[in-house]
Amino acid sequence: MFPESVLRTKRLILRPFDTSDIPDTHASCADPLTQRWLPLPRPYTLDNATNWCTATADALRDNGDGIQFAVTDARTKRLMGQVGLKKTDWRTLVSEVGYWVSPWARGHGVATEATRAVARWLLADQQFQRLELRAATENTASQKVALKAGFHREGTLRNAGFVHGGRVDLVLFSMLPGDLASSA
Ligand SMILES: CC(C)(COP(=O)(O)OP(=O)(O)OC[C@H]1O[C@@H](n2cnc3c(N)ncnc32)[C@H](O)[C@@H]1OP(=O)(O)O)[C@@H](O)C(=O)NCCC(=O)NCCS
């Protein structure tokens, strides 16, 4: 499993979820844009947020799936989003990144900054060999995040994902250790 970790960037602190994140996680995950692109419970209840912040996020590190970070404003400490690693393959040293940004924090580069930080931590500090990112072909904002964070577009995975609206094609992106220099 990954070690419990706190990552710092210019504007953000990425740390484990805790009970203080429950109301903002609830608001962020019940938000229509988050619900459009992520297959989260619908309706997303306060109980769902409580379970995520107090049990599920930690369990997904304990069982080796990956690591989940609460993305917070370094100045105000408020929750700005989530970034996490999932589906980690410890034999091939490959993992996959995913994220959502809270409605009040969108459009300021938060997803890009948080994704870069996690990519650097995984590919440099943890010495992984490949980080994948999948985004629905119509999720333009997420694809921009991938490219701005320094990922390479590899192709389209037909019918590979699902959202509440139905099945979707996914664009596959990847980042390798050698790509880090250009993702500063
Ligand atoms: C995708 C998401 C995480 C982006 O977060 P963010 O912090 O606002 O992203 P950034 O500020 O780093 O912006 C990334 C780029 O997307 C652009 N963008 C944001 N919303 C957009 C939209 N609705 N349509 C097109 N481009 C958009 C931004 O303008 C920016 O591009 P620019 O620098 O060329 O202007 C956020 O919109 C979100 O939470 N969406 C719902 C959940 C989701 O889609 N998760 C990813 C699943 S793969």
Q: Which residue has the tokens 């040293």?
A: 93
| pLDDT over 70 (residue 58) | yes
Which residue from 181, 160, 179 is spatially nearest to 169, judged by alpha carbons?
A: 160
| Ligand 1 probe mutation, 101, 134, 139, 173, most atoms within 8 A of CB | 101
Which residue from 166, 39, 20, 11 is spatially nearest to 100, judged by alpha carbons?
A: 39
Structure confidence at residue 183 (pLDDT): 65
| pLDDT over 70 (residue 9) | yes
Q: How far apart are CA 184 and CA 180, in angstroms?
A: 7
Structure confidence at residue 182 (pLDDT): 74
Whole-number average pLDDT of the chain: 97
Nearest CA, atom 48, ligand 1: 135
Q: Which residues line ligand 1 (CB under 6 A)?
A: 33-34, 37-38, 99-101, 106-112, 135, 139-142, 144-145
Beta strand pairing status for 130-136 and 94-101?
parallel
CA of 144 to the centre of ligand 1 (A): 7
| 70, 14 Cβ separation under 8 angstroms | yes
Q: What percent of the chain has pLDDT over 70?
A: 99
Nearest CA, atom 12, ligand 1: 109
| pLDDT over 80 (residue 184) | no
- Domains of the chain from N-terminus onward: 7-129 (3.40.630.30)
Q: What is the mean pLDDT of residues 142-165?
A: 98
Q: What is the pLDDT of residues 109-127, one digit of tens each?
A: 999 999 999 999 999 999 9
